[in-house]
Amino acid sequence: MVKTKKGLFAMMCIVIVCAIAIPAIIGEFATDDLITVNTITQTTTLGNNTTYLITLTNIGNENETFNLTAINIDNVSVASLSQTTITLDTGQSGDLLLNVTDELIPGPYCVLVNATSQTTVLSDEVVTTTAVVEEW
């Protein structure tokens, strides 16, 4: 039991560091974000899904179609987006979902979501961190 608590504590420390450091590095808090997420960290138990709400805003001067990718940095079992493209008018926002699940190994799992315009240079990314823990 003590070993499990120490492991859980270490994992949560990693999640906190990722939650603070990664957004600062990639500029998630910039005021002209193309892509944002409702929360950058969540906790779930083995085999249970956690869902992030990703919002994409067309900050460009013309209508855009964006390609969306989920980059599974830590090889979590499931890292999937609800859609892989979205078309938005200038100033328009659209939502999609990122689902993250791991069925076998507890740990922190980072998934990077990237949005890139098909026609212009607009591109942005956001990183989520999911702490997958064993059920008590």
Digits of tens for pLDDT over the chain (136 positions)?
545 555 555 555 555 555 555 554 444 444 478 999 999 999 999 999 999 999 999 999 999 999 999 999 999 999 999 999 999 999 999 999 999 999 999 999 999 999 999 999 889 999 999 999 998 7
- Report pLDDT for 135: 82
**Cα separation, 30 vs 46, whole angstroms:** 34
* Domain residue spans of the chain: 2-133
| Joined tokens for residue 13 | 């420390």
- Report pLDDT for 27: 44
CATH topology of domain 2-133: Immunoglobulin-like (2.60.40)
pTM to 2 decimal places:
0.77
Q: Do 108 and 129 contact (CB within 8 A), yes or no?
A: yes
